[in-house]
Structures are given as structure tokens and as C-alpha cells.
Structure 1
Amino acid sequence: MSSLFLFPLVLSSISLRANELDIKQNQITYLITVTENEPSIAQVTMKFTPQDSILYMDGSARAFDNSWGHFLHDIRAYDSQKNKIAIEQLEGPKWKIDADQTSPITVAYNVHLTHTDHKWSGGIDGVAYPTDYGVFYTGRTLFMVNGTQREDISVGFDLPKNWKATTPWESSVKDSSMLEVDGFNDLLQSVMFLGTHKEINIKREGLELIFALGTKETIEQEEEYRELANGVLNYYVNLIGGNPNPPILKKTLRSVVVVNTSDATDGEALGNHISVLVQKDGDDFSKLISRFIFAHEFFHLWNGKSFSPNSDNLEWFKEGVTNYYTVKALYHIGVLDDDSYLNVLSEFFYQRYADDKGVGTLAMSDGEAKHDHWGLVYGGGMFVGMAQDIMIRNATNNTKNLDMLMRTLYQEYGGSEEQYDLDEICMRLSHLNGVDQSSFFDSYIHGPSKFPIETYLQLAGLDASIENGKLLIKKRNSVNTLEKHIFYGFLGK
């Protein structure tokens, strides 16, 4: 045969092999094995064709030189012929593998669940821990990765009899025993509970909430958590005008909520998921805070995920306004009444705000301060959102309100990667008020002035004053119709 005819065949063969390699390098599978005899060890086996020579983990466990790699043991690697591959530990949570980048390899390691032996600045709720009913992990504590991007990621589980895995992922179309993962971020920002726990599923069109209750106390409160989730979800959907709509949502949004008991109440959001710890044998206030944490983090699926700011200078809006709608949601579903609503504002939120050393010295728009100045950013931002809502209702005879801003942001930015900025928030609030809010922003957002929430609460038919550093609030006996309507709107009725 003429070489003229052979040449296209050679090119076609090369192209086919290159395409097959691309497909292989896009795939990675993980098998998580937990045995009944050693439930505190997760055996992880990953199979993939290397994109490069580096294995790495998330670096957020900064207390350890090796980050989450600190908890990995017996790391080993093999080629397709089961020959051992050399692995070299690098600085940080990185390892170098001496492997052919055109053939599949296997990497295996054990994760020891000793995370509770250490103190965590953000709490154990966002890490990993055992309970009497199973084990809790976040994806970042479990998974090594290789390469920069892989679209074909799957995870499987080999668990003791009667155990189940509660995860954010759905079964693969190609292999029902495996779960499909939507990229590395979806993998590392996941939460999961493996065990004999109780699972609650709440489904709406395009949204699925999956609760994992993994302690005796939380399992006994199953119905209460179901009612809490349904009530808060209904309030938020009616408020915003739709289910969460984060950017590039390809399918149903599955959000895992893990609730367990511990020595102290705490909570954290990871990606689209929520981890809550409720103080065991805690008082009513501790129970309230655990409900607040869930409702707060849940609202971030709208304010923070569906529409998000382009800068940290809007953390006061993302966190503080979320606080405002969280207490309104809890009032709406009956967790709070008139008196407890006002009490939590004064005894908890205002006290945290007033006691924050950043108040009067730092600007609320200093988003970097949010971790060290919860009272300023979360509490102060809440009072700003509350005051703006009251001002808008007062200026428009209760025909407009802050809810309209939230709906507009959802409509404008939901499902988009575009983000709003601080000037836009000021402009939209000015429009709703009918008065330019620039001087308000200069004083309380860009500037360090202490926020006089007591002044604005009086427009809602409340007697409010600051005495000895405390916010005193009580309902006035005589109010006009507008004040009454503003008060109802302020509550979330």
C-alpha cells in the first residue's frame, strides 16, 4: 500500500490514542472502606491515570505542617501490574509519585479518625469525628487529588452491614454502585455521615435537603428537625421567590445537613452543606442557637450562593442581613415569639456588638475583620439591615421593604457568576428609601461610627434605649397603624 494512504491511518491512530488518554486522565475513582472492627479508620483507595506527578490535599488545616495529611497513614501506590511506585513527601500536604502518566495507577492510604485529639479554632464541626452511630467526615479530611481538573469523578463505599452513607452525591448512570461527583470542589467541600444514623429527606423541585442525625438525642428529635427544615425552607422560598440557584447548577441541588450532639453548640457551612453540633443536655438558649445556626447557614444558599458580593467589603451584608432573616424565619415558624425575639436581639446580638472591640474603631466594610470581630460584622450588619428595612417601610407607608432588595438580587444574579458590589447595594437601598443613602453608608459602613439601632427601632412602635451598655427594648402600649405594620414586618409576620 502506498505510504500516501498509510499516513492518514497513522494520524488517525495517534489521534485515537490521544483521545483515549484524555478520557483516562479525566477519570478518578475512590473507594472508602470502613470495617466494623476498626470504624475509626477509613481506608481510601483511589484509581486514576496521573495528569502530573503530584498528589495533594486541601491545605486548610494550618495547625499542621502537612495539613490534613497529618492524619494519613500507610500511603502506598502501585502501577497496573501491581508493582510498587515510589512516593516522596513534599512540603505541605503534597506527595510526588514516580509514575507513568499514560497508564492507570492505584494509590491507597488510611485516614485515622483522631481529629478530636486536637483543638480546632473553628471547632470540630467542620472536621471529622465519631459518634455512637457512625462517623462524620468532610471531604477535605479524606481525599487526596491529582491534577487540576477532572470531570469524571466517582466515589464508592464498602461499609459494615446495616451501615449507610449519607452524601451529597447521586448514583452514577454508568455504575449504580458508585456516586457521581461534580469536580474537585464538590469533592473537597462535601460532608458525609457513615453509620446506622437516621436520615431525613426533604425534596422540592430542584432541591433536596438530606439530614443525617447521628446521636441518640438528635434522632429522638427527628420530627422537630423535619418541621424546622420545612418551615424555614417555605419561609425563604416565599421571601426570595424561588429555590436556591447558585451558578452553573447542572442538576438538583443536594444539600447535606449533619446534626449531632457534643460538649458545646457550634456549626459550620462547607460548600452547600451544613454541620451543626448541639450541646448535650444544653439549656433552651443553647437549643435556640443550634436552630439559629442551621437557619443562618441555610439562608446562605440564597444570600451568598445564589447571589454573592464581589468583595469582602460586603461581608456585613452577606452575614449580617442573613442574621436578620434568620431570626425572622425562626419567628415565622414559632421558634421565637414577640418577647423572645426582642430578648435575643438585646441579650445576645446587641451584647455581642457592644462588646466587640472593633466597634467605634473599625469600619463595618472591613470584611477581613469578620473572623475576629463577629459582633461588628455579623451583629452590626444585622442592625444595619434591620434599620434599612424599618426605614424603607416607614418612608413608603409599608409598601416597600428590604425583602424587595433580596428578591431583586436573586432575580438579577441567581444562576449567574456575575456579582453585585457595594455601590449597587447603596444605590438600590437609596431607590427603595426614596432618599440617597450615601451619608448613611459613609457613617456606618465605610466609617467606624457606632450604629444607633435604638433610634430606628422606635419607628417600629418600640421603646428602645441604651443604658449601661445594654439595649433595652419593650413594646409601646399605644402605636399607630403604620408603626404596627412596620413591627409585624420587622418580626417576619
Structure 2
Amino acid sequence: MNRKTWMAAAFMLLTQSAIAAYDQAPNHYRLTISDDAKRAQVEADVWVEGDELAIFNTMPIPKLKNGQADLLENIVVTDMAGKQIRLKNKGEGDFELDGDRRVKLRYEVRLDHDKYEWPGGNEEVFYRTDEGFLSSAYALFLVPLKAMLGKTEVTVALPPGWSVNTQWAPTDKPNTFTANTRRELVNNVLFFGTAKSEDFSSGGMQIKLVMGKRYWAQSAMIKQVIDRQLASYVAMLGKPPLAERFMLVLNQGDSGDGGAFSGSFSQYLKGDADEASRMIWGRVVAHELLHFWNGLTLVPANPEEEWFKEGVTDYLTVMAMARNDLLDREFINQHLQNMVRGQHVARKLMGLKGTVRAAAKDKHRNWLLVYGGGTIAAMAMDLELRRATGDKLGLEDLMKALYAEFGKPGKTYTHADIVRVGMQIGGVDLGPMLETHLGSETALDMAPMMAQIGLQVDVAGMLETHVQRNKDVTAEQRKRFTAIFGVPY
């Protein structure tokens, strides 16, 4: 037996031994929120595969060098017989221990997260209202780093009169839920308190809507956006996302931004959810809903494809909203102007360097490149596919084909896959065009792109940007504009 064969055999034996050692029992967490909602206590028994526990998705900030992990206190780990196990804090939420066995955990979480500003926005980490608080599950649960085997049962104990809203599946026991995977357990948000919620079906999915009390008078308009967009996305992508249950949490917040998780999303609304501002709040809701497909089911293998996750999502969001009569012709024109203006602002005013692909390394600082540059690349792909196929196919068809191939658990796509699938469905090589848009470090001239949908671009200085109808527009260009946005040219 040669050395490589011996090593492979040894690895198989070790793997089989580890699998055999797993006791096949579910994991259990009990989360207790103190009556003043200032602390949480967590008790758990969990199988630790490997030798590390972790708080995932930590965001180091100046006052908390280990991010959310610095708010964990009094961590005690024992074996199932009660003998204490040494725990080494490795920093940024990683803890080393003697694992590959079931252990008991006990720790407290100081619920002070709302006292800090988080890079991704507090709507993605923790905030309080007069009806309770929202927290990401990332901030609450210390879990095995290598892998989390088996299902996890979570029981929540709450202050009097409070309830917990979650995407997890309920069991027949009070305030007890099941998460099938580690991702489902920690990659979600929860709302604790007295806020009203409503459960309904939309787009073939079960939706839980949780909102602050000021928004329930506007719930019909919010649900209209949800219903129309989900129906469009199912048709656009060919099938629902992987998760069957989703929770949407909406509350007032000045950023007006939101964040999507594996089966939930959290959004701040700047003001009321009325028709006049629907182009703002509705677009954020619609954008985050589409992430349940593009980003959470269709997952890139490389972080540099963040432009695809955000840019394609934004382009298709606006396309679907316009077709659903949720955005008017005037907004579309403003949106196209902003696409052009945004790149000049990013490069010349903000001085952002690097390529659109590389911008993902500092997404929040480079959001104009990731989102704006990504949206322009999405439009370029759409137009290239339409040109090559006589307007028979577009970006929707590329997404449907990618989703059919890669919208599966554990399967990821690469940049090369995007180019390959474009060639398969449209007979066109998207590679050179994408290299131009994603590899450039300057604001590109968008006039040739806009001309393909009958629009003229005029740029004067840095902020004076105008996109208007071209007096020499052709019938083909008019038809293409309407095919994309669903409104008359």
C-alpha cells in the first residue's frame, strides 16, 4: 500500500469513527430573556464536531474588537457528566475546546448591541422599539464551527406578555421550535416582544409579517408589494426558493435599509409605507425578497461575485416592480439617470478605487460600485442577450437557467458558470463585455447601452446627468424598452 493510499484509507477510518461517535441525538438550546430584556441566558447541550465553537458573522468595531462575541459573558462548558472543559478564546468569536463529543454550554449575552453602530446596519444585528427588540440569531447562539450535526430544538422563555416571532418551525411544545441546520438556526433574525404579526401565503410560500404598530394601517399596500413581487419572482426563476417559510420584520429607522437572511429579513422604513414613497420602501422590500432566490438559494462560490448578487437583484427588482405597476415611467427615467450619475460620483467625488469585482472586499464603503456597478453589468448582460437572440431572450432567461442548475443545497456558481450558461442559452460570449464592466477602474460611457433602448445620455460635470428619449429612436429600441420595463416607451 503506497503512502497516498494509506493516508486515504486512514482518513476514511477516522471519518467513519467520527460519524460512529455521533450520538444521533438532537441539539437543544434554551434561551431565556430577562424580565427587563437587558440580558439573555443560554443553556444548551450540543454535539461539537471538531474542536471549536463560534459566534458567526462577528463585526469587529472600535469598542468591541471581537464584535458581538464581546457581549458574551460567563461562558461555561462541561461534559455531559458535569466535568468542566477548558475553553480558549481565540478572538473574533472563535473558541477552542476538546470536542468531538456532546457538551453542555451555559453563558449569558449582554443585550447592549443597540448601543453600538454596526457596519452592516443595526437592522441586521439588533435594535429596540417600544414593542420589544429584534436580534440576529448570530448574536445569541454559540455553535460548533466545523459542522453542526442533527437538528436543533430551541425553547424560548420570555418576559410576561411577550412572544417570539421566528422563521423556525414550531413544535407541539410552547415556545419551542426546530431548526434543521446550523444555517437555519443562526442565519436569521428574531423579534421578541409584543409586536403584532400576521401569517399568510404568497407565491406558494408561508409568510410571517411582523411590523411596528404604526405600519399596520398600511399593511394592505405592503402585502400588495409582497404578493406581486413574489409571484413575479417565482415566474422569473421558474420555482420557489429553497426555504418554505419566511419572516419579514419592518420597523421605523432612518437608514431605510434592510438585510436578508436565510429565511427572514429585517427592514427599516424611514417614514410611512404610503403610495407616494413606495418607490423607496417598496423597492427595498422587493430587493430583499429577491435575495431569497439570488444570494440565499443561488449562492456564489467567490465573494467577488457580490456584484452579481446585489446588482442583478437590483436590476430585476426594478424590472419586476415596473411591470407590476409599482413604479412609473418617471421613476424608471430617474433610476437610469442615477445609474449613470452614481458611477461618476463613486469614481470622481468619492475617489473609490479598484474594480467592481474587487469592491466586494469592503462592500459597505464601496456600495456604489457593488450595487451600482453591478446593476450596470446586469443591464449590459440583458442587452447583450437580447441583441444576440433578436430580443427573444434576456437576463431573466439567464437567471432561470442558472437557478435550475445551481439553486440547490450546497451547490455554488462561479463567474465562469455565468459566461458558460450565457453561451448555452443565447449563443453569445458574455465574457469580454463583463470584463469591460467588472474590470474597469473608471466610470464607463453608458451612452451606447442607453441608445439600445432609445435613450440619450448627456453628462455635464460631475452631477449634471440627464437621460432622455432620443428623438431618433427606432421602433426596435422602443419595443426593447417596453419589453424590459413593461411600460410604454
TM-score bracket relative to the smaller structure: 0.7 to 0.9
- Structure 1: give runs of 5+ residues left out of the alignment: 1-17, 246-251
Q: In the alignment, is residue 466 of structure 1 matched against residue 459 of structure 2?
A: yes
Cα 1:94–1:428 shift into 2, 3 Å: closer
Determine which of 355, 368, 372 is the counterpart of 1:363.
355
In structure 1, the partner of 2:70 is 70
Q: Partner letter of residue 108 of structure 2?
A: N
How high is the TM-score relative to the length of structure 2? 0.82
Distance in 2, Cα, partners of 1:183 & 1:87 = 26
Give yes or no for contact 2:49–2:149 (8 Å, CA) kept in 1.
Answer: no
Shift of 1:264: 2.6
Determine which of 369, 376, 382 is the counterpart of 1:376.
369
Figure out how many residues of one structure are paired with residues of the other and give that number: 462
Q: In the alignment, is residue 217 of structure 1 matched against residue 214 of structure 2?
A: yes
Give yes or no for contact 1:200–1:226 (8 Å, CA) kept in 2.
Answer: no
Distance in 2, Cα, partners of 1:97 & 1:304 = 33
Shift of 1:59: 5.5
Cα-to-partner distance string for 1:107-140 (whole Å, 9 max, x where unaligned): 4333232112112122111111221112211111
Distance in 2, Cα, partners of 1:477 & 1:443 = 29
Q: Partner letter of residue 121 of structure 1?
A: P
Q: In the alignment, is residue 153 of structure 1 matched against residue 140 of structure 2?
A: no
Q: Partner letter of residue 352 of structure 1?
A: G
In structure 1, the partner of 2:340 is 350
Distance in 2, Cα, partners of 1:197 & 1:479 = 52
Cα 1:369–1:44 shift into 2, 3 Å: closer
Give yes or no for contact 1:454–1:471 (8 Å, CA) kept in 2.
Answer: no
Shift of 1:486: 0.7
Give yes or no for contact 1:71–1:114 (8 Å, CA) kept in 2.
Answer: yes
Determine which of 225, 229, 235 is the counterpart of 1:228.
225
Cα 1:457–1:143 shift into 2, 3 Å: same
In structure 1, the partner of 2:433 is 440
Q: In the alignment, is residue 412 of structure 1 matched against residue 410 of structure 2?
A: no
Q: Partner letter of residue 355 of structure 1?
A: V
Cα 1:118–1:333 shift into 2, 3 Å: same
Shift of 1:443: 2.6
Q: Partner letter of residue 490 of structure 1?
A: I
Determine which of 271, 279, 294 is the counterpart of 2:262.
271
Q: Partner letter of residue 41 of structure 1?
A: R
Q: Which moved more, 1:362-371 or 1:119-128?
A: 362-371
Shift of 1:415: 2.0
Distance in 1, Cα, partners of 2:65 & 2:117 = 15
- Structure 2: give runs of 5+ residues left out of the alignment: 1-17
Distance in 2, Cα, partners of 1:336 & 1:266 = 19
In structure 2, the partner of 1:401 is 394
In structure 1, the partner of 2:14 is none
Give yes or no for contact 2:90–2:96 (8 Å, CA) kept in 1.
Answer: no
Give yes or no for contact 2:52–2:99 (8 Å, CA) kept in 1.
Answer: no
Q: Partner letter of residue 386 of structure 2?
A: R
Shift of 1:325: 0.6
How high is the TM-score relative to the length of structure 1? 0.81
Give yes or no for contact 2:77–2:87 (8 Å, CA) kept in 1.
Answer: no
Identity %: 25
Cα-to-partner distance string for 1:351-406 (whole Å, 9 max, x where unaligned): 33221138896333325446132222321221222133234334544322222111
Cα 1:452–1:431 shift into 2, 3 Å: farther
In structure 1, the partner of 2:320 is 329
Shift of 1:53: 7.4
Q: Which moved more, 1:275-284 or 1:453-462?
A: 275-284
Distance in 2, Cα, partners of 1:482 & 1:100 = 64
Give yes or no for contact 1:72–1:111 (8 Å, CA) kept in 2.
Answer: yes
Determine which of 99, 108, 112 is the counterpart of 2:110.
112
